[in-house]
Protein backbone atom coordinates (compact mmCIF):
# COMPACT_ATOMS: atom_id res chain seq x y z
CA UNK A 1 0.00 0.00 0.00
CA UNK A 2 1.13 3.53 -0.64
CA UNK A 3 2.29 5.74 2.18
CA UNK A 4 3.61 9.28 2.50
CA UNK A 5 5.65 10.42 5.46
CA UNK A 6 6.46 13.98 6.44
CA UNK A 7 8.63 13.67 9.52
CA UNK A 8 8.47 17.31 10.61
CA UNK A 9 5.20 18.63 11.94
CA UNK A 10 6.57 22.12 12.39
CA UNK A 11 9.41 24.02 10.79
CA UNK A 12 10.25 27.44 12.13
CA UNK A 13 12.77 29.53 10.21
CA UNK A 14 13.77 33.15 9.98
CA UNK A 15 13.02 35.23 6.91
CA UNK A 16 15.76 34.82 4.34
CA UNK A 17 16.90 31.46 5.67
CA UNK A 18 16.68 28.30 3.61
CA UNK A 19 13.86 25.90 4.28
CA UNK A 20 13.56 22.22 3.40
CA UNK A 21 10.48 20.13 3.99
CA UNK A 22 11.07 16.41 3.93
CA UNK A 23 8.81 13.92 2.25
CA UNK A 24 9.33 10.19 1.84
CA UNK A 25 6.99 7.82 0.11
CA UNK A 26 6.49 4.11 -0.31
CA UNK A 27 4.89 2.78 -3.45
CA UNK A 28 5.74 -0.19 -5.60
CA UNK A 29 4.70 1.43 -8.87
CA UNK A 30 5.81 4.51 -10.74
CA UNK A 31 5.06 7.44 -8.44
CA UNK A 32 3.60 10.82 -9.20
CA UNK A 33 4.43 13.28 -6.45
CA UNK A 34 2.90 16.61 -5.54
CA UNK A 35 3.26 19.35 -2.99
CA UNK A 36 0.09 21.11 -1.86
CA UNK A 37 -0.03 24.24 0.26
CA UNK A 38 -2.76 25.59 2.51
CA UNK A 39 -2.46 29.21 3.57
CA UNK A 40 -4.34 30.43 6.60
CA UNK A 41 -8.11 30.32 6.05
CA UNK A 42 -7.71 29.21 2.45
CA UNK A 43 -8.29 25.97 0.64
CA UNK A 44 -5.68 23.46 -0.31
CA UNK A 45 -3.96 24.32 -3.58
CA UNK A 46 -1.38 22.68 -5.75
CA UNK A 47 2.10 24.11 -5.33
CA UNK A 48 4.05 21.92 -7.69
CA UNK A 49 4.24 18.45 -9.20
CA UNK A 50 7.34 16.47 -9.97
CA UNK A 51 6.56 15.89 -13.63
CA UNK A 52 6.57 19.63 -14.26
CA UNK A 53 10.06 20.10 -12.88
CA UNK A 54 9.29 23.75 -12.36
CA UNK A 55 9.91 26.28 -9.63
CA UNK A 56 6.85 27.87 -8.09
CA UNK A 57 7.18 30.82 -5.71
CA UNK A 58 10.86 29.94 -5.42
CA UNK A 59 10.14 26.39 -4.29
CA UNK A 60 11.62 23.35 -6.00
CA UNK A 61 11.34 19.66 -5.36
CA UNK A 62 13.26 16.81 -6.88
CA UNK A 63 12.04 13.27 -7.02
CA UNK A 64 14.72 10.87 -5.81
CA UNK A 65 13.53 7.38 -6.60
CA UNK A 66 16.55 5.78 -4.97
CA UNK A 67 15.77 7.41 -1.66
CA UNK A 68 12.01 7.48 -2.32
CA UNK A 69 11.97 11.13 -1.42
CA UNK A 70 10.45 14.32 -2.76
CA UNK A 71 11.78 17.05 -0.50
CA UNK A 72 10.59 20.63 -0.98
CA UNK A 73 13.17 23.39 -0.83
CA UNK A 74 13.39 27.13 -0.94
CA UNK A 75 16.69 28.95 -0.56
CA UNK A 76 15.31 32.13 0.98
CA UNK A 77 12.08 31.83 2.94
CA UNK A 78 9.64 34.72 2.99
CA UNK A 79 7.01 35.53 5.61
CA UNK A 80 4.26 34.83 3.10
CA UNK A 81 5.50 31.24 2.87
CA UNK A 82 4.06 30.56 6.31
CA UNK A 83 1.48 27.86 5.68
CA UNK A 84 0.69 24.19 5.95
CA UNK A 85 2.40 22.04 3.35
CA UNK A 86 1.30 18.58 2.32
CA UNK A 87 3.22 16.10 0.23
CA UNK A 88 0.98 13.81 -1.80
CA UNK A 89 1.43 10.65 -3.83
CA UNK A 90 -0.76 10.20 -6.87
CA UNK A 91 -1.71 6.68 -7.88
CA UNK A 92 -4.28 6.43 -10.62
CA UNK A 93 -6.85 9.03 -9.70
CA UNK A 94 -6.13 8.96 -6.00
CA UNK A 95 -4.01 11.17 -3.83
CA UNK A 96 -2.46 9.90 -0.63
CA UNK A 97 -1.38 12.72 1.66
CA UNK A 98 1.38 12.97 4.18
CA UNK A 99 0.68 14.30 7.63
CA UNK A 100 1.63 17.83 6.71
CA UNK A 101 4.30 20.24 7.86
CA UNK A 102 3.50 23.64 9.25
CA UNK A 103 6.04 26.25 8.19
CA UNK A 104 6.41 29.38 10.23
CA UNK A 105 8.65 32.08 8.82
CA UNK A 106 9.63 34.61 11.43
CA UNK A 107 10.59 38.19 10.57
Residues that bind other proteins (CB under 8 A): 32, 34, 36, 42-46, 49, 86, 90, 93-100
The span from the CA of 28 to the CA of 19, in Å, is 29
Q: Which is nearer to other proteins, 95 or 104 (CB)?
A: 95
Q: Nearest distance from residue 79's CB to other proteins, in Å? A: 22
Q: Nearest distance from residue 57's CB to other proteins, in Å? A: 15
Q: Which is nearer to other proteins, 36 or 59 (CB)?
A: 36
Q: Nearest distance from residue 16's CB to other proteins, in Å? A: 28
Beta-carbon contacts of 23 under 8 Å, excluding residues fewer than 6 positions away, are: 4, 5, 6, 33, 35, 61, 69, 70, 71, 72, 87, 98
Q: Which is nearer to other proteins, 73 or 100 (CB)?
A: 100
SS3 98: coil
Q: Which is nearer to other proteins, 66 or 94 (CB)?
A: 94
Q: Nearest distance from residue 98's CB to other proteins, in Å? A: 6
| Backbone phi, psi, residue 81, to 5° | -80, -10
SS3 82: coil
Amino acid sequence: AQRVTQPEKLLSVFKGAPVELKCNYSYSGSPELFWYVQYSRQRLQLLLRHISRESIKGFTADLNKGETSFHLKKPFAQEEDSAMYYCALGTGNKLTFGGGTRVLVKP
